[in-house]
Amino acid sequence: MHSQTRSIIAALVLTTGSTLGADMYTVTDLGTLGDAVGASGISDSGISVGYALDPMYRYHGFINDDGDFQQITSMMSMNAQAQMMGINDLDMPILASYMLGMLQTNASIPMMGAMMVIGEMMPCAINDTMTVVGSRYVTAPSGLREELACRWDMGTITNLPSLNGATSSIAKGINDAGWVVGSSITSGSITPTATLWMNNAAFDLGSLGGDMSQAIAINENNTAVGISETPSGDTHAFRAAINTNGQVTERVDLGSLPGGYSIAISINDLDQIVGSSSNRAVLWENDTLIDLNTRIAPSSGWILNKATGINESGRIVGVGSLGGDPFRAFLLTPADCNADLNNDGTLDFFDISELLSGQIDFNADTVFDFFDISAFLQAFQAGCP
């Protein structure tokens, strides 16, 4: 009986082999206030943050903690807008509040039902030491208002050093060592240059050979990611390894899906990178580009357009459309690999043999029968993350 069953399973595996490993993630809708929603980050514990538009077309921040969707509203006024811009791994989010048509933006950290006000700046990221980075508008000697990269530390907002006389700059990401990345428009230029700030100095991170580059995130390995023009004029995501002298030791063009456009938005400490390419949410693992739409069930109803955050567990947040409804926030969770019965990281005939020879009660109903085989086949076809 075992040899016959083994032959039947092997035949089924062979006939469905082209789909093995396709469904690597489960996808979850993060919630809505009735209109557009977007996720901006996820902490290591799995708390997601972002923005949600209500039926009155007002933006609010949101926090989603294990399915509990909480609206976070600006304290400025009833007409103010608010967006959660990010979250650190201590589960502290950062909120931007502003009035439409005004340059002023206020940053704050929601804590235990209250708001810790940071001050007037556009926050973009927060690290585990509670340093916040972003930008603020200042009045230049010419009398013009300029946007300059800044950071908040210990209750004080300070501008970051200028790169080659930059007239405009913005900080987008920070790691726990305090290294900050973003971009600067240097004197005489009209395009941004990827910039690193460390040890009270600014460093030019260069480009992929074109005029424009912007760094967006940096991890604890001092690897920065972002977007850059190439010599051909295409716009591609990049990865840059940086040494302790602020020098780029490796710069990689991460390529794109057909269409020629890509952007890297977030990187975790395993150097997994997420972003978007040709309006598809993507993941780079070992610099290999993966369309995340090929890693969810086709029957999910989702089209994933942009991935905006990834944590150390490989959970991913972003923006897509659900059932034709655009601008919905999603969470991708790596699927369990229950079918890897011999724990070798690969789904193959040896797992089938393990199931049959051990008569494993795969569906946990205390009996080994056809239903265990059926459940095993479904898990086998779902693949491993």
Chain segment 226-265, per-residue pLDDT in tens: 999 999 999 999 999 999 999 999 999 999 999 889 999 9
Share of the chain above pLDDT 90, in %: 65
Query: Does 374 fall in a domain?
Result: no
Query: Does 380 fall in a domain?
Result: no
Chain segment 318-341, per-residue pLDDT in tens: 999 999 889 999 999 987 777 777
**Whether residue 151 has pLDDT greater than 50:** yes
Query: 219: domain range?
Result: 121-242
Query: Does 172 fall in a domain?
Result: yes
Chain segment 171-224, per-residue pLDDT in tens: 999 999 999 999 999 988 899 999 999 999 999 999 999 999 999 999 999 999
Structure tokens at 197: 């700030």
Number of domains in the chain: 1
Chain segment 118-129, per-residue pLDDT in tens: 999 999 999 999
- Over range 22-46, report the average pLDDT: 90
- The Cα–Cα gap between 303 and 280 comes to 8
Query: Does 254 fall in a domain?
Result: no
Query: Does 309 fall in a domain?
Result: no
Query: Does 168 fall in a domain?
Result: yes
C-alpha dihedral (41, 220, 129, 195), degrees to nearest 10: -80
pLDDT of residue 78: 61
pLDDT of residue 90: 96
Query: Does 250 fall in a domain?
Result: no
Chain segment 289-324, per-residue pLDDT in tens: 999 998 888 888 999 999 999 999 999 999 999 998
pLDDT of residue 21: 41
Which helix H or strand E contains 319, and what residues bound it?
A: strand 316-322
Question: Structure pTM?
Answer: 0.84
CA distances in angstroms from 223 to 127, 219, 284, 302, listed in the order given: 15, 6, 14, 31
pLDDT of residue 297: 80
* Closest to 253 (Cα-Cα) out of 243, 245, 263, 242: 263
Query: Does 212 fall in a domain?
Result: yes
Q: Up-side HSE of residue 262: CA atoms within 13 Å toward CB? A: 27
DSSP class of residue 2? H
CA distances in angstroms from 340 to 19, 123, 243, 343, 348, listed in the order given: 16, 43, 39, 5, 8
pLDDT of residue 142: 75
